[in-house]
Amino acid sequence: MSDDFTWRDHIVTLDERGLNTLQQAATIAVGDLQRPTGPRSDASASTLHDLIFAFEVCPEEGVGLERSLADLGSAVWGNAVVPSDAACVAHLHPPTLVASVVTELSIAAVNQSMDSWDQAPAATEVELHLVEWLARLITMPSSATGIMTSGGTASNVLGLTLARSWAALGLGVDVLKSGLPPESASWRILCSDQAHFSVQRGAAQLGLGRDAVVAVATTPTGVMDIEALDVALDELEKSDLRAMAIVATAGTTDLGAIDPLEAIGQRARRHNAWFHVDAAVAGAFLLSESLRPRLTGLADADSVTIDFHKLWWQPFNASALIVRDHEHFDLLRVKSNYLDRGDELEGMVNLVGRSLDTSRRFDAAKVFASLRAIGRRELATMLEHLVSLAHFAGERLSANGRFDVLTPPTSVMCVFTARGFSAGDLRAVQQNLLARGEMVLGRTEIKGVSALKFTFMNPLTTTSDVERLIALIDDEFDRITPEP
């Protein structure tokens, strides 16, 4: 059998030949990063379908790296959404940091698997260092630690999974071994009516059902109404139901509202409920001395979701769940004969015991590299700039005469509607701008009110850009006839 493999240069190796091959390939790939002349091209869904489906996925004989990358450049990257364009303002979809993107190449090349220490020794220590730094930033006790996840939904579901196991443990039940106890029929999860849908998804996946989620009313500014929470808790007690967990939101998806964390935490302790905070959006405020006070009470949480791939400008995926007491992860652990045996040498941590996943990417590396490269002060300034842009947008929209801002912006979002125009009209404006590739604008509904939404994620966006976007929307409303 010959050792002269024809496929040698297809495999990433860390010797001189392998690294030279990788460097050349990376140069070709970067050169093929085409982009449209706006936030997206004007290609329709059917055009893109025909374009992409014309490619043979796995031909009998390969087309070669250069041809394959060139096809991606023209067909995919040339028709991609461009988060770094000022007119990409629909979602929590950030441009990325150079340090993170180049580290992604190293992550893929070295390919550490984050389930066991023997597959990722130094990488495990980096992830532990990162999540424990984040726990200290939150000002949690020294017992706090965490785990990287694929996103806010995964972090929220993991947090609620721990809450369920903790509630069962209080009854002397190992829910992972024995399943849900009869008492679980009385368990309820409370969150605001503006909380992320992943709370309901988590309840469904945990066998509690979406009906176990109690939506608490919010104030006009979008934060949980504490009086309504007290009423909901009292009604549960009267009905012989138990608050298994209370979920607060630090940065709602639409308004960026931050629930009164300190007051909610007090209620959670009083009712012996797990206190989870979904800080996927506003968790980045921890970096800013001026924005940080808005998160007062976060340190009292039993678990906290932080998304790095939002206002920390990381490539997808990069999220974390921080847990107040590292021993709570033992509620999740299932030992395995080949992976997490429990007889490892002192100091070796198998992170699979903390995760709902087995194999995971070393996503902590890109966060670690960029935080060290840029530093807290610069990152905070970038974040503060985006918050100020949302305020500026609210002021300019209010001064326009046509628009009403639903509530003064408190984060990077600005939600507004147009007087005399219906939900169908707002849809037409948003869809027309999208179809022509002029703007990726957000559209939502809050308590029955249809609205448009700016979400500012790009720190390079200027006030002049904001004025141009408002003018584009204003002009588009001039082009349509309001529905009766």
* Every domain of the chain and the residues it spans: 11-80, 112-373, 376-479
Q: What is the mean pLDDT, run by run of 10 residues, along the chain of 484 residues?
A: 81 94 94 88 96 96 95 94 97 97 97 96 98 98 98 97 97 94 97 97 96 97 98 98 98 97 98 98 98 98 98 97 96 86 88 93 98 98 98 98 96 97 97 97 96 98 98 96 75
Residue pair 313/97 in contact by the 8 Å Cβ criterion: yes
Residue pair 176/161 in contact by the 8 Å Cβ criterion: no
Q: What one-letter code names the amino acid at 461?
A: T
pLDDT for position 75: 95
Which option is the CATH number for 376-479: 2.30.42.10, 1.10.230.10, 3.90.1150.10, 3.40.630.30? 3.90.1150.10
pLDDT for position 3: 74
Q: How far is CA 198 from the centre of its chain?
A: 11
**Residue 458 burial class via C-beta count within 10 angstroms: exposed 0-12, middle 13-18, buried 19 and up:** buried
Q: Measure the CA–CA gap between 179 and 408, rounded to whole angstroms.
A: 46
pLDDT for position 295: 98
Which token pair is 48?
Answer: 């893109």
Measured between alpha carbons, how far is residue 100 from residues 147, 188, 314, 481 in Å?
A: 19, 40, 6, 46
pLDDT for position 36: 80
pLDDT for position 68: 96
Q: How many residues does the chain have?
A: 484
| SS3 (DSSP) at 229 | helix
Q: Pairing relation of β-strands 274-278 and 145-149?
A: unpaired
Give Cβ neighbours of residue 52 (< 8 Å, ≥ 6 apart).
75, 76
Give Cβ neighbours of residue 463 (< 8 Å, ≥ 6 apart).
389, 392
Question: 0.85 cut: is pTM over it?
Answer: yes
| SS3 (DSSP) at 21 | helix
Q: What is the pLDDT of residues 387-408, one digit of tens each?
A: 999 999 999 999 999 999 999 9
pLDDT for position 468: 98
Q: What one-letter code names the amino acid at 88?
A: C
Residue 403 phi/psi, 5-degree rounding, is -110, 150
Measured between alpha carbons, how far is residue 353 from residues 118, 127, 136, 328 in Å?
A: 14, 14, 22, 11
Kind and range of the H or E run holding 245: strand 242-249
Measured between alpha carbons, how far is residue 170 from residues 75, 163, 183, 327 in Å?
A: 56, 11, 11, 15
**Tokens 């995760």 found at:** 355
pLDDT for position 2: 65
Is 112-373's fold the same as 376-479's?
no
- The CATH number assigned to the domain with range 112-373 reads 3.40.640.10
pLDDT for position 335: 82
Q: What one-letter code names the amino acid at 302?
A: D
Q: Measure the CA–CA gap between 83 and 86, rounded to whole angstroms.
A: 8
Buried b / exposed e over 99-118, threshold 16 CB at 10 Å, is bbeebbbebeeeebbbbbbe
Q: Residue 303 CB: number of other CB atoms within 10 A?
A: 28
Question: Using alpha carbons only, what angle is made at residue 453 by residues 449 and 458, rounded to the nearest 5 degrees?
Answer: 165
Sign of CA dihedral 226, 227, 230, 231: negative
